[in-house]
Amino acid sequence: MSLVNAARPSPGSGPEPPPGRRPPPLLRRLVAPERLYLVALALTGLAAVVSVTLPAAERGELSANMVSATLGAAVGGLSLDTFLLSRPAGWIFSRGRAWILTMFGASVLLSAVAAALLTTVAGVGSHLVGVGAAAGLTVFNTVSSVALRQSSFRLVYTLRAVSGAVLVGGYAALYASGRLDGTVWSVVWLAIQWLSAVAVCGLVLRMVRRVGPAPAPTATGPDYRADVLAVGHLHTGIFAQMMTLRFNQILVARFVGAGPLGVYALAVAALEFAQAGAVVRAQRILAGRDGDPLSHRAGPVVRAALPVALAAVGGLAVLGLLQPEYQDAWVLGICLLPGALATGAGKTWSSVLLKERGERAPTRVALLTLAIAIPIYLAVIPLAGVVGAALASSLAYAVHALASRASLRQSQPRHSGTV
């Protein structure tokens, strides 16, 4: 059995369940993918709140491990999750088992190497945790994309939610036992990443058994070379985008220290609540088999994100009253808020750009943004610390969103009047 068998060459939405087995409409609304993703994100946020019980320096250690692992997975993972979601129906069957597993294995190995390098640059964190978690995240993200190709949004997001709940329980148990050590909490986080990875692999293997034997691959040499080029174009863009989003935290660890990183990373995590709807929207756009002429409208995403972002800033203010070490987190939240809204719009526009124009257009946008962001980060963070990092991040996210929209307008003049 392999992941190759998991995606049938069928419409993205898959067959409808028999009428007698359909959940009631109210239940379907309650367990809508957007709601499940928000629950998963809320539990991750709750884990971040529980981690505030750590001293700021210890939370900085935990945050450094997390950012080295997540950025390592993004940099080294070859963006296979997004690549698989953007492939047409039947692509996995046509390539064959050996090709898929070769790409998958290379992405896991490169993720581990990237995480090790980032941990060294940060000067804070554990190489063991960073490398192990990066590999686990790459496994989870890549295998999840196979499930999402089959429109298993509810199952994947339910796994995310369950993992978040287990992580909250693990942190709470450590706090109750008096283990306020950032390295120990990082090891628990590492274990949860692999628990999630194993669970989603089990989910996909069940799909494999239902599909049965895969047909012989039909791809030829030029097809495989085209895949390599497509991955290169796509990953260059996502590499640039993730460096824009996360590398500032590596620089905060390097130039400002673990304590300020703990506060800054908390504010970043809180504002990521506002991106839940945009993430689900982007995945639906990439996984869809037919074009939606209105799918590039980002106005509803931004309007839905604004109250969530404001609530997150309010939550940071309350936490600051309860934990004086984090009293400046709400200020960082205010500085990050414009960037959070811009990121929500940018995710929608860049996913449409990728779906309709291929890898090159979003890659150009991401490289432009990175070329602006990295010099700003290097100039501002050593001088202005975490406030400078937050303001520079918002500026970079706005540049990415506006450049994505401008590129999309060029390719879709008929939609130029939409928001």
For 204, the token pair is 């996909």
Nearest to 340 by CA among 282, 276, 285, 251: 276
pLDDT at 411: 59
Question: Rounded to two decimals, what is the model's pTM?
Answer: 0.80
SS3 content of the chain, % helix, strand, coil (to 5): 85, 0, 15
Instruction: Please check whether residue 130 is in contact with residue 76, taking contact to mean a CB–CB distance below 8 angstroms.
Output: no
Cα–Cα dist 47/398, whole Å: 28
Task: Give DSSP secondary structure letters for 194-260.
Answer: HHHHHHHHHHHHHHHHHH-SPPPP---HHHHHHHHHHHHHHHHHHHHHHHHHHHHHHHHHHHT-HHH
| Burial class for 308, CB neighbours closer than 10 Å (0-12, 13-18, 19+) | buried
Tokens 């890659």 found at: 363
Calculate the CA dihedral of residues 288, 298, 153, 270 and round it to 10 degrees. 150
Cα–Cα dist 260/283, whole Å: 33
Cα–Cα dist 115/75, whole Å: 9
Count how many Cα atoms sit within 13 Å of the Cα of residue 190 in the half-sphere of its side chain: 22
Q: What is the DSSP letter of 63?
A: H
- Count the residues in the chain: 419
- Per-residue pLDDT of the chain (419 residues), as tens digits, is 333 333 333 333 333 344 444 555 544 555 677 678 778 878 887 898 899 999 989 999 999 999 999 999 999 999 999 899 888 878 988 998 899 999 999 999 999 999 999 999 999 999 999 999 999 999 999 999 988 887 777 888 889 899 999 999 999 999 999 999 999 999 999 999 999 999 999 988 888 788 778 788 989 999 999 999 989 888 888 889 889 989 999 999 999 999 999 999 999 988 887 776 677 677 677 666 434 545 567 677 788 788 888 999 999 999 899 888 899 999 999 999 999 898 888 788 878 877 777 767 888 888 999 999 999 999 999 999 999 999 999 999 999 989 888 887 775 544 444 44
